[in-house]
Amino acid sequence: MLLKIRFQIFRNPRMRQSSSVMQRRLFNSSLMKRQSTSPLGSETNLVPMESIDNNVNSRDQPLKIWTDQELKTLFDAFSKHGSDWNIISKEYFQESRTPSAIKNKWKRANIWTKVEENKLEDAISKHGEDWEFISKEYFQMKRTPRILKIKWKTFLKRQTQKARTLRDAVKEYFQVSRSPSSLKHKWVRSVNHLTEEEVRLLQDAVSKHGKDWEFISKEYFQMNRTPRELKNKWNNHWTEDEVRKLRDAVAKHGEDWNFITEKYFQASRTSSSINHKWIRSVNHLTEEEGWILIDAVSKHEGDWEFISKKYFQNNRSARELEIKWNTLLKYWSEEEIKKLRDAVSKHGKDWQLISKEYFQANRTVSSLKDKHSRSKDKMLLIKEHDTYQENVKKINNTNPENQEIYDTKSTNDYHTKTYRKRNKHSWTNEEDQILPELIKNHGIKIAAEMLNRSKRSLYSYYKKKEHSYDSLMKKSNTISKKFQKPSDVGVDKDIETSWIRNLDESSTYKSSLQRCRINWQQLCLQSP
């Protein structure tokens, strides 16, 4: 029974609240019994009710709130002893506050001392908003990069309330001509650039220690330059002044890269980087040199040293000529595009045959595939036959909207608009009349010349209208080329279909077509 009562008290919150009252009553009743049963009516040392109530209710009281005096004491203690919470708890709070409570209060309060604020200002004026570096070197990770960033923003917001603009506030309180956000990039690139002595020191450090930017920043620059600044300087881009200086130096002294590095760049650029820049992007081939290089490669292939001596009199190095030739190979001329267009229209995607017969193996199979697949306007790769021009004009005249797009807009606009919007255009009566005539004369090849319709749309529309084109199926022999498999090569295509005389034979012919997928050899065997 007692266990049931305790279980009910544990589950019921109201009974839990009244349990303390019940305990006091039981305690008082037990005291009264002891007093009544004590020998010789001796007086017992009774505990007063007020003290009992105070002891019981002391646990239910809320935690003690931190006063301003305690916060000041915590501030002074932390400035002297740091995060040694045990000493602070014993000496400053006489253990009235536990070390864990003091630590949690310090984290929640996030109090910044004036020394820390001055340290943060000094760090930002030297290194910018490199929060990770400032957190490591100036605060020993006691202040995280995120806390430093938030503190800096709130501090600036507080200062801008006093000053008129953010720029005035920065000048007034930090004596630097930079803004933490908008002028950061400008400061790093133009104002806070490395001097010539620092560049030489950086090159010496990298030659000895590699790209260990943190070590170089500490040992060689005494943290006046952050690792990020040093890395950006080492990998930075060429300016226009540097390119002009390089051209003037080569015009006067030739390709003496060591001399140019020392005299013109004061060791701010290495000789290898100057040579690489000169070959790749500065010293371009002229048109005459390009034709000479093409002629030389066609005769001597990849003997670059011989080509450099005989054709360029060593004015172009062998390595430079090889790089220029590789860049020329990536360029496609208009004649080559036309040649590829004609080859694809005749031979399809037989890339090996096209490479040998049309390009004399100067273009590889992979390069031909890549050019064909990555062409922005694949309509350029379709040959326009002169015999189809009249029929093309007829198709275009049926839809003047697309005709205007084809005549006035660029090929890219035409490509996107026709391929994306032609599904919305319904077939007109004129198109329906012209389509059987075109198929009768030219077969499925007319799909390449009907600029308003794709091959797939023509074929799907033709399948829908197949019942009305039975007479056309009797005469059209060129349709079999689209559906013919490699195993069907050599089969006679001129199949007479004049034996179809009634509707039964016509239905048998259609079912055979669907079942055999227009495999003409099987169709001949299964037909009556």
The rounded distance, in Å, linking the Cα atoms of 82 and 73 is 13
Closest by CA to 146, choosing from 113, 178, 110, is: 110
pLDDT value, residue 281: 67
Range of lowest pLDDT (11-15, 82-86, 160-164): 160-164
- Can you say whether residue 193 is alpha, beta or left, with left for phi > 0 and alpha for psi between -120 and 50 degrees? beta
* Tokens matching residue 438: 């075109």
pLDDT value, residue 20: 54
CB 274 within 8 Å of CB 265: yes
Domain extents in the chain: 2-58, 68-109, 114-191, 287-329, 334-378, 402-476, 480-528
Q: Tell me the three state secondary structure of residue 171.
A: helix
Q: Note the pLDDT tens digit of each residue in 19-51.
A: 555 555 555 555 554 544 444 444 444 444 444
Residues comprising the chain, all counted? 528
- Which single residue is written with the structure tokens 């430093």? 148
Angle between helices 2-11 and 13-37 (to 10 degrees): 140
Q: Tell me the three state secondary structure of residue 267.
A: coil
Geometric angle at alpha carbon 129, from 128 and 131, rounded to 5°: 125
CB 195 within 8 Å of CB 185: no
For the chain, the average pLDDT equals: 64
* Tokens matching residue 382: 């379709």
Geometric angle at alpha carbon 60, from 58 and 61, rounded to 5°: 70
Q: Note the pLDDT tens digit of each residue in 499-515.
A: 333 444 445 545 544 44
pLDDT value, residue 239: 66
Q: For residue 140, how many C-alpha atoms fall within 13 Å in the half-sphere facing its CB?
A: 3
CB 290 within 8 Å of CB 328: yes
pLDDT value, residue 52: 41
pLDDT value, residue 425: 53
Under the banding of pLDDT at 50, 70 and 90, the label for residue 162 is very low
Write the DSSP string, 62-106: PPPPPPHHHHHHHHHHHHHHTT-HHHHHHHTTTTSS-HHHHHHHH
Q: Note the pLDDT tens digit of each residue in 421-479.
A: 444 456 677 777 777 777 666 665 555 555 556 666 666 666 666 555 554 444 444 44
Q: For residue 364, how many C-alpha atoms fall within 13 Å in the half-sphere facing its CB?
A: 5
Say which residue, 174 or 375, is predicted with more confidence: 375
Task: Check whether 176 has a pLDDT greater than 60.
Answer: no
The rounded distance, in Å, linking the Cα atoms of 299 and 385 is 36
Q: Note the pLDDT tens digit of each residue in 464-475.
A: 665 555 544 444
